[in-house]
């Protein structure tokens, strides 16, 4: 991955570290990419605001603001278990996004907490299985990880960095 510092023209390379080993990560990508799920795609731009909601101590203090913005037409993207918290507080997120590949995160998709879940191909296969079991609409997306494209099995896959 390349990163740019400030306005400097020099690019530096750095390594992404994950909380699982590369072999498990790439194995997950390969297995999940063969599921035939619809993929997250590039969409035309919109003036509709998007809220990206993560879990944290300030979330409880911002529920009223999130609710007002959602009611006014904002898209709500909830990360991990923030989707459950929003749902339990009367806010249905448009999307739940999960990237973490650890198997115990299957609890994040134990219920349909949002309209749709966007699962990274590196997630543990049990998350995909649970979504299929409970009828939770899922899309797959591919995080930009050097070397991952050879496990995805399609030419020029859309890979999302960050």
pLDDT digits (tens, 9 = 90+) for 24-61: 789 999 999 999 999 999 889 999 999 999 999 999 99
Per-residue pLDDT tens over the stretch 87-129: 999 999 999 999 999 999 999 999 999 999 999 999 999 999 9
> Domain spans of the chain?
21-160
With a cut of 70, say whether residue 11 has pLDDT above it.
Answer: no
- This model's pTM is above 0.95: no
Asked whether 122 and 140 are in contact (CB, 8 A), the reply is no
Q: Which of 23, 27, 22 is nearest to 151 (CA)?
A: 27
Whether residue 142 contacts residue 152, with contact meaning beta carbons closer than 8 Å, is answered with: yes
């Amino acid at each position: 991955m390349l990163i740019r510092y400030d306005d400097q023209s020099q690019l530096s390379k750095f390594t992404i570290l994950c909380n699982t080993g590369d072999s498990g990560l790439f194995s997950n990508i390969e297995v999940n990419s063969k599921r035939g799920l619809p993929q997250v795609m590039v969409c035309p731009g919109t003036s509709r605001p998007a809220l990206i909601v993560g879990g944290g101590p300030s979330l409880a203090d911002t529920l009223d603001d999130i609710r007002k913005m959602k009611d006014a037409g904002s898209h709500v993207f909830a990360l991990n278990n923030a989707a459950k918290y929003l749902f339990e507080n009367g806010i249905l997120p448009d999307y739940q996004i999960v990237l973490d590949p650890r198997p115990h995160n299957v609890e994040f998709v134990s219920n349909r907490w949002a309209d749709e879940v966007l699962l990274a191909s590196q997630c543990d296969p049990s998350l995909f299985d649970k979504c299929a079991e409970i009828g939770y609409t899922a899309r797959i997306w591919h995080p930009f990880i050097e070397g991952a494209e050879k496990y995805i099995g399609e030419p020029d896959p859309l890979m999302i960095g960050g």
